[in-house]
């Protein structure tokens, strides 16, 4: 009955992804050449191969099967986050990683992204509705809120917001009425000043420094300012690979991870930025196209959830680098160094291909 063919993989999407990955590896190499992390680039290559294998594996399992098992997956995810909370390894003031020994660490919250995508898809698919009722929407929101709060408590504001992004995309596609959208927006605006009180001090400081980075140029505004300087000094054509002073002299914070786009912008300039952003744009549009050609709602929700997820990552990470978004530590998919991020990104890509492979099969 099932006849899966290699031919049906989204080859352009995979090609674009691999180009981005290669750019990422080169940038990691350039950004860490003079630092203690100078081995990061080949580690990243290993992660990428691992990611490709994961993608292959996830493609083989029918996404309907995955959706069937989504609640056990969901509970496993919540359990994983709780474990992180208990045994997590603290770094930079937050517990995000479960140590795996010999320096390896596992970031549960990255994989929870994929689970949230599946959860939202399953829930909305089961509803079979074209006009999402606010009550159902809130129930779904309640389900997503559990991992969101757990991650927020780590604390990791950026990652927790990615779950919300998947939820919002799904709810929007499922036909949440405009008036509800407006009401939610209004409530958010009203609640925001209150919620600021619940933010950690450093998160508040980041918010303040986003609004006015020069207030404390050596403190919380430091990352933002240094990133803006890196980007701005790149100019039209950039300073060249391994020639960026902000990157090479480590004025730029974590230039191979969260601020990799800043390092890229410094060394490749505006032209490089436009080319790279175009690749991301095409990638997202390809995923959206896969949603349009999906054989059923479930597949469409999965693809759109992933499109929303990646769009949110690009918006927040790249916007942060250019000083247009506050500093929230989320990686740039397929580029930032780090196994968990790479693998969860390839899992998401695998889901897209999973849906695509089954578009003619029924």
Phi and psi (nearest 5°) for 322?
-90, 10
CB of 235 to other proteins, least distance (A): 4
**Given 93, 130, 194, 195, the residue binding other proteins (CB under 8 A):** 130
Torsion (CA) 318, 321, 326, 327 in degrees, nearest 10: 110
Between helices 260-292 and 11-32, what is the axis angle to 10°? Answer: 170
Q: Write the interaction track for other proteins spanning residues 1-40; mark x where CB under 8 A is met and - where it is not.
A: ---------------------------------x------
Residue bearing tokens 């099969």: 361
Q: Write the interaction track for other proteins spanning residues 146-185; mark x where CB under 8 A is met and - where it is not.
A: -----------------------x--xxxx----------
Count CA within 13 A, CB hemisphere, residue 241: 9
**Given 51, 88, 234, 331, the residue binding other proteins (CB under 8 A):** 234
Phi and psi (nearest 5°) for 174?
-70, 0
**353 makes contact with other proteins (CB under 8 A):** no
Q: Write the interaction track for other proteins spanning residues 260-299; mark x where CB under 8 A is met and - where it is not.
A: -----x---xx--xx--x--xx--xx--x--xxxxxxx--
Strand blocks (E) in the chain: 89-91, 94-101, 104-106
**251 makes contact with other proteins (CB under 8 A):** yes
CB of 125 to other proteins, least distance (A): 10
d(CA 89, CA 97): 5
Phi and psi (nearest 5°) for 143?
-65, -45
Rg (CA), the chain: 20
**Given 52, 112, 231, 347, the residue binding other proteins (CB under 8 A):** 231
**304 makes contact with other proteins (CB under 8 A):** yes
CB of 118 to other proteins, least distance (A): 18
Please, which residue, 199 or 279, has the CB nearer to other proteins?
279
**335 makes contact with other proteins (CB under 8 A):** no
Give the range of 36-44, 91-99, 303-311, 336-344 binding other proteins by CB under 8 A: 303-311
d(CA 93, CA 19): 34
CB of 318 to other proteins, least distance (A): 5
**Given 80, 88, 305, 323, the residue binding other proteins (CB under 8 A):** 323
**Given 9, 112, 263, 318, the residue binding other proteins (CB under 8 A):** 318
Closest CA to 317 of 191, 165, 95, 97: 165
The helix (run of H) or strand (run of E) holding residue 48 is helix 40-60
Q: Cβ contacts of residue 237 below 8 Å, gap of 6+?
A: 268, 269, 270, 271, 272
**58 makes contact with other proteins (CB under 8 A):** no
**Given 228, 259, 329, 340, the residue binding other proteins (CB under 8 A):** 228
Q: Cβ contacts of residue 179 below 8 Å, gap of 6+?
A: none
**Tokens matching residue 14:** 């995979």
**300 makes contact with other proteins (CB under 8 A):** yes
Count CA within 13 A, CB hemisphere, residue 168: 15
**226 makes contact with other proteins (CB under 8 A):** yes
d(CA 274, CA 251): 24
CB of 217 to other proteins, least distance (A): 10
My answer on whether omega of the bond before 189 falls inside 30° of 0, hence cis, is no
CB of 47 to other proteins, least distance (A): 26
Residues engaged in binding other proteins (CB under 8 A): 34, 130, 169, 172-175, 218, 226, 228-236, 245-246, 248-251, 265, 269-270, 273-274, 277, 280-281, 284-285, 288, 291-297, 300, 304, 307-308, 311, 314-315, 318-319, 322-324, 362
């Amino acid at each position: 009955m099932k006849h899966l063919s290699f031919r049906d993989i989204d080859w352009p999407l995979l090609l674009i992804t691999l180009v981005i990955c290669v750019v990422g590896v080169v940038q990691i190499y350039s950004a860490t050449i003079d630092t203690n992390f100078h081995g990061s680039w080949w580690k990243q290559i290993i992660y990428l191969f691992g990611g490709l294998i994961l993608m292959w594996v996830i493609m083989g399992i029918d996404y309907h099967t995955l959706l069937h098992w989504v609640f056990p997956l969901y509970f496993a995810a919540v359990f994983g986050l709780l474990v992180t909370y208990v045994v997590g390894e603290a770094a930079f003031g937050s517990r995000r990683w479960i140590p795996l020994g010999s320096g390896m660490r596992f970031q549960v919250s990255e994989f929870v992204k994929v689970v949230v995508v599946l959860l939202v898809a399953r829930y909305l698919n089961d509803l079979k509705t074209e006009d999402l009722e606010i009550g159902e929407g809130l129930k779904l929101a309640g389900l997503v809120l559990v991992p969101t709060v757990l991650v927020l408590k780590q604390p990791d504001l950026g990652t927790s917001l990615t779950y919300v992004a998947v939820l919002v995309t799904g709810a929007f596609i499922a036909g949440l009425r405009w008036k509800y959208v407006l009401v939610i927006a209004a409530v958010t605006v009203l609640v925001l000043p209150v919620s600021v009180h619940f933010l950690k001090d450093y998160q508040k400081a980041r918010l303040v420094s986003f609004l006015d980075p020069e207030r404390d140029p050596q403190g919380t505004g430091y990352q933002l300012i240094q990133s803006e300087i890196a980007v701005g000094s790149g100019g039209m054509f950039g300073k060249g690979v391994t020639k960026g002073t902000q990157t090479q002299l480590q004025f730029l914070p974590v230039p191979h991870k969260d601020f990799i786009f800043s390092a890229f912008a410094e060394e490749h300039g505006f032209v490089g930025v436009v080319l790279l952003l175009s690749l991301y744009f095409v990638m997202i549009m390809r995923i959206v196209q896969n949603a349009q050609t999906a054989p059923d709602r479930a597949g469409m929700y999965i693809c759109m959830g992933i499109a929303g997820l990646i769009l949110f990552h690009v918006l927040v990470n790249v916007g942060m680098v250019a000083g247009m978004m506050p500093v929230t530590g989320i990686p740039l998919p397929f580029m930032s160094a780090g196994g968990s991020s790479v693998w969860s990104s390839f899992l998401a890509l695998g889901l897209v291909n999973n849906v695509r492979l089954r578009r003619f099969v029924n």
